[in-house]
Structure 1
Amino acid sequence: MKKLTLNRRRFIGTTAMAGAALASPAYLRRAAAQGSGEVNIWTYNDFVPESFKEQFEAETGIKVNIRLVDDQGKQFNLLAAEQPNPTVDIMTVAGHRFLQFIDSELLAPLDTDRLSNWGNINPTFSESDWATINGEKWGAPILSGMEVLAYNTELVSQEEAMTWDTLFSEKYSGQTAYIIQDMMSIVMLMMGYDGNMVAYMDDPAKAAAIVEEAKQFLIEKKPLVRKYYDSGAEVQQMFVNQDIALGHSWNGPAAALINDGFPLGMTIPNEGSYGFVYTYNVANNAPNVDNAYTFLDAILASPEIGAAMTKASGFISTYKDASNYLTDLEKKSTSFPEEQLANLQFFRAEANEMKYGLVDPAVEAVKAA
């Protein structure tokens, strides 16, 4: 196979141009020149479309400072270390990690009365049971995604990609990659356990034994993996460089490669996988809280913005009618067959304190092994 000469800069440039023609939302036109100062945002790569950022800054006078994050645990630790005076206003928290942040008083309840565009979010996400805790909303759902098995279609068959076992096979030794923390949950699911650990909340000894079993599995399979990675951009580049033939991925980075013409496929394997929802959240004691709400209301202003976020990130927009602004290829890269969707369940938060208290040390042990 001829090595493709694609690169990450091209991906970013392509997706930025795709969103460059965003119509100016009425909200921004009303807010023009009324704002000042800045808003500090911790988020993932491509979650704020560059065209939107430039327009928002030009029309509100508020400077947007973005710090990229690649891991929920790292973000939690950084925010906790900064309390009670955080430097961040808005962060991107996955819904299944809410309780950890809320219990540590790191997030402020979301005042949806300050968001005139709240109704633009599909109620499936904005009004779901995980989105309301203690009678309060804690985040604005922006994108949804899932853990998938991504594979180079010129090297790996779809049949092979329908099982996680292929990721750990001798056949593809040295040609695989995954995020260890995410794979811990998936390995538990492969073994027939509840990867959310909700089923073991009353049996912490069993929970510890299950995590230990998953840890030992990953240590045993460590010689087969090419790399443990951290960010979506990193796994994209490994595919492009043909460093790997297949790997665990979030569907967003995989979809971005597909839309750019790379021969990539993705599946929700037969053993199952997990879905999640990313939200924008306001930090407790945020230094620029008014500007934070101005930004949130603006980014929720139209389905075109939601579509631009999908084009840039590859994740599925939570906005009503956003799919109307996607091409057929973009729609295809953000959908799955019904039989595969049946293998999907959502991450849950009830057992997170116990789960991550066990999983995080296990991840470090796998890395050190």
Structure 2
Amino acid sequence: MHRKLSKIALATLLLATGAAQAQDNTLRLLTWADYVPKDVLEQFTKETGIKVEVTLSNNEEMISKLRATAGAGFDLAQPSQDRIAGPQTEFGIYKPMDLSKIQAAQFIPSMLEATRINTTVAGKVYAVPHIWGTDGLVVNTKTSKATDYADLCAADNAGKVSMRLKRPTLIAFAFSMGKNPFAAYNDPKAYGALMDEVGKKLTDCKANVKFYWDGKDQLLAGMRSGELTTAMMWDTGGWGLNKTHPDIKFIAPKSGALGWVDTFAIPAKGKNDAAAYAWINFNMRPEIAAKVATSAGNFTAAKGGEQGMDPVLKQQFAASFPEAALKNIKWYPAVPAGLEDIEGRVLDRVKAAK
């Protein structure tokens, strides 16, 4: 009887050990589209033996998924740097980074330091930078003279513009109205009043909107077909269109393009931190970072990563961002807890308005 029980116990132990080993060889990654090129994934697995399970998402969904599980289900996530401190303060969905396991020399020092500051909560750092870019205007210069976000509401663009009903649109319109929404971040009452003002502007602008975009394919098709004259869009979306439609250009708005940085952050109940750090350090190698940045069409926080990037993209960046426009980029600071609730209510009112 004891021998039989011992065999059962041994079998159970072997199964558990096998499951643990399988877990140790898998990285569950919650990330953005185009951040995991096939050749990069295959090279990582070949070098480390670690398999990567990729789930595509965006900022809102990442927070929602991790909040629903208290930070379980994934070993590594890639939220934007401004979306970490608030959710961490409210929901505790991330664990502090062990910076001793990060190969800091691979990062552009200024970006590593800026992200450290923006993602610090109670003295602990929760992310390191990966990919960065901007949002602004994509304009068909044959049919539109738009130079700032407010021009989306101009009479000559009636029924021919697109934007997202998400917080970047609120922030962008606030700047175009001569306000600084970031300056009101620590005053919920003032911020709420400003968002109400922006919401009214967006409601008045609804007649100009052909559609509120939520997926890139619809938006890009609308610009290509001429259905849209102007849209709020990310920079590389505009540069990609420009390659086949020279009249379509990404423009840094007069009130400032919005600058974002997507990061690496470790969920609170991630089970494979070793694989997460291995993936981070692998991705920040200059030659790997260049491949990922080229796939994403954006820029990398890896030191030397720009050397291997598409020269056409570099030229387009220079055309869209002369020195004054580059200095005028409005970089997102960390979003304090509770502000997204204010924004959500305003966006819901805009969506429901007739």
**TM-score, with length taken from structure 1:** 0.81
Deviations 1:18-38 (A, max 9, x none): xxxxxxxxxxxxxxxx99531
One-letter amino acid of the counterpart of residue 134, structure 1: A
Instruction: Say whether the 8 Å CA contact 1:314–1:334 is kept in structure 2.
Output: no
The residue that corresponds to 1:110 in the other structure is: 97
Name the counterpart of 2:66.
Answer: 79
Name the counterpart of 1:26: none
Mapped contact 1:87–1:286 kept (Cα < 8 A)? yes
| Residue 328 (structure 1) shift | 2.4
- Is this contact kept in 2: 1:233–1:253, CA < 8 A? no
CA distance in 1, matches of 2:343, 2:209: 19
Q: Identity of aligned pairs, percent?
A: 22
Q: Is residue 194 of structure 1 aligned with residue 177 of structure 2?
A: no
Equivalent residue for 1:299, pick from 275, 280, 283: 283
Q: 1:286 aligns to what?
A: 270
3-state DSSP class of the match of 1:83?
coil
Match of 2:228 in 1: 244
Question: Is the Cα contact below 8 Å between 1:256 and 1:311 reproduced in 2?
Answer: no
8 Å Cα contact 1:174-1:226 kept in structure 2: yes
Call closer, same or farther: CA 1:241–1:354 in 2, change over 3 Å.
same
Question: In structure 1, what is the equivalent of residue 80 of structure 2?
Answer: 94
1:291 partner letter: A
User: Which segment drifts farther, 168-177 or 125-134?
Assistant: 125-134
Superposed CA RMSD in Å reads 2.2
Structure 2 gaps, min length 5? 1-21
2:30 to 42, 46, 50: 42
Which of 127, 132, 156 is the aligned partner of 1:171? 156
Structure 1 residue 133: Cα displacement: 4.0
Quote the Cα distance in structure 2 between the aligned partners of 1:251 and 1:213.
27
Residues in 2 aligned to 1:122 and 1:245: alpha-carbon distance in whole angstroms: 37
CA distance in structure 1 between the aligned counterparts of 2:185 and 2:41, rounded to whole angstroms: 44
Distance 1:59 1:201 in 2: 46
> Partners in 2 of 1:68 and 1:273 — Cα distance?
25
Would the alpha carbon gap of residues 274 and 141 (structure 1) be closer, same or farther in structure 2, given more than 3 Å must change?
A: same
Separation (CA, whole Å) in 1 of partners of 2:308 and 2:119: 26
Partners in 2 of 1:177 and 1:212 — Cα distance?
A: 21
Partner amino acid for 2:178? G
For 1:188 and 1:248, the matched residues in 2 are separated by: 14
- The structural deviation recorded for 1:60 is 2.4
Equivalent-residue separation in structure 2 for 1:233 and 1:110 (angstroms):
35
**Alpha carbons 1:255, 1:315 under 8 Å: kept:** no
**Residue 55 of structure 2: aligned partner:** 67
Indicate how the Cα distance of structure 1 residues 200 and 329 shifts in structure 2: closer, same or farther if over 3 A, else same.
Answer: closer
- How far is the alpha carbon of 1:194 from its aligned partner? 1.8
SS of 1:76's partner is helix
- CA distance in 2 between counterparts of 1:253 and 1:43 reads 18
Q: Displacement of 1:234 after TM fit? A: 4.3
The answer (yes or no) to whether the contact 2:23–2:272 under 8 Å persists in 1 is no
Distance 2:190 2:99 in 1: 41
Between the two proteins, the alignment pairs up a number of residues equal to: 325
Query: For structure 1, which runs of at least 5 residues remain unmatched after alignment?
Result: 1-33
Closer, same or farther in 2 for the Cα pair 1:321/1:35, shift >3 Å?
A: farther
- Give the superposition deviation at 1:149: 0.6
